[in-house]
Amino acid sequence: MIVTRRQLADGREIIYFDDPATTGSRAAPFTRTATDRRDLPAVVTDSQCRRDPLTGEWVVIAAHRQDRTYLPAADLCPLCPSAPGRPTEVPEPSYQVVALENRFASLGTSSAVPAPDAVPAADLRPGVGRCEVVCFTSEHRLTFAELDPRRVRLVVDAWAQRTAELGARADVAQVFCFENHGEEIGVTLHHPHGQVYAYPFVPPRVRTVLEQARHHEESTGRNLFADVLAAERAGPRVVAANEHWTAFVPAASRWPHEVQLFPHRQVPDLPALTDAERDALVPVYLDVLGRFAHRFDTPMPYVAAWNQAPTGRCWDAAGPGPGAGPGAGRQRWWLHLQLFSFRRTAEKLKYLAGSESGMGVFVSDTNPETVAAQLRAVALP
């Protein structure tokens, strides 16, 4: 993989990822040289992290994002390559995979410091971190499910590179790679892209799972993730699998359509995957995305969320959980992907109503075993 770093006109970083086998001539080193000549104002990230004293969970306050770009026409897409007379966020006339700092970031290098009496000091932190946009292709009308396997492999390598680099920062406790797909999910740009969030705290889901893993290890002496994977591989909910990966509908699915992808070897994050494991991820992931795309007459909207181990650093006074030392989370964690859709039928969506939104108790409208059978039965093109 060839990595090229450049700067946009307002100082944000843009990073190009290219497959050396498809970059043309080998006679000279491959470079990206286009310059962003737009007249852009400086980015102002007015973010705070406030801890809910009742739940102990951190909430990011980022009111400056209200004016972010919202569903522009294809000829005004800011993530397409630049063209004569039409500069975009990507100065090059074409690209393979690119990551750039989000102009409308939830977290950033600068943050607002409110008046001391606005929020108790124990419940307030700067909204520092980093938010990036990852463009999977320069082709505006493609979806991730339609990418060729070689491009998907490059995306996996880009995710891993960003995870390793951002995870090494002293102010980052968790690196989260994800894709929101479909207007129903809330995407604001149609161009095929995902995001990377580098949080300064460990998110609620990871904290909860780590606590469950600790309890399981203390009571059984075994790894929770390993036991879950072994049970699912032997059960009726497997959707796709190969030598290195298994994709299954979890027994306690929260969402109408939900699949989790686990590597067969325990690794904490994407950078820890071997080349063989990264290669093997591609067909399983594309298989499952294809089933989501063809389960109904129109593709299902979805969220694809990589659950990686925390870095072991966290400014949260509560720490990563009772009895969990700085490195315990990484030692127990098992990388996995959550892929889920809000769609419960061809025409109906799952809404988070009273029980889900008010109490956090999900009531499923579908049966996990039935969903797994329906996804296996999807005829892929």
Q: Checking DSSP bridges between strand 48-51 and strand 130-135, what pairing results, if any? A: unpaired
How many CB atoms within 10 Å of residue 221? 7
Provide the edge-to-edge strand list for the sheet that holds 48-51. Answer: 58-61, 48-51, 124-126
Q: What is the pLDDT of residues 89-140, one digit of tens each?
A: 999 999 999 999 999 999 987 655 665 566 776 688 888 999 999 999 999 9
- The domains found in the chain, sorted by start residue, are 2-202 (3.30.428.10), 205-377 (3.30.428.10)
Buried b (16+ CB within 10 A) or exposed e, 300-318: bbbbbbbbbbbbbbbebee
Total number of residues shown for the chain: 381
Distance CA 273, CA 288 (A): 20
pLDDT reported for residue 22: 83
Question: Among residues 230, 237, 245, 185, which one has the least CA distance to residue 371?
Answer: 237
Distance CA 370, CA 376 (A): 10
Low-confidence ranges of the chain (pLDDT < 50): 27, 317-323
pLDDT reported for residue 116: 57
pLDDT reported for residue 112: 58
By the 8 A CB rule, do 81 and 93 touch? Answer: yes
pLDDT reported for residue 315: 59
pLDDT reported for residue 30: 74
What positions carry a catalytic annotation? Answer: 193
Residue 362 is given by DSSP the state -
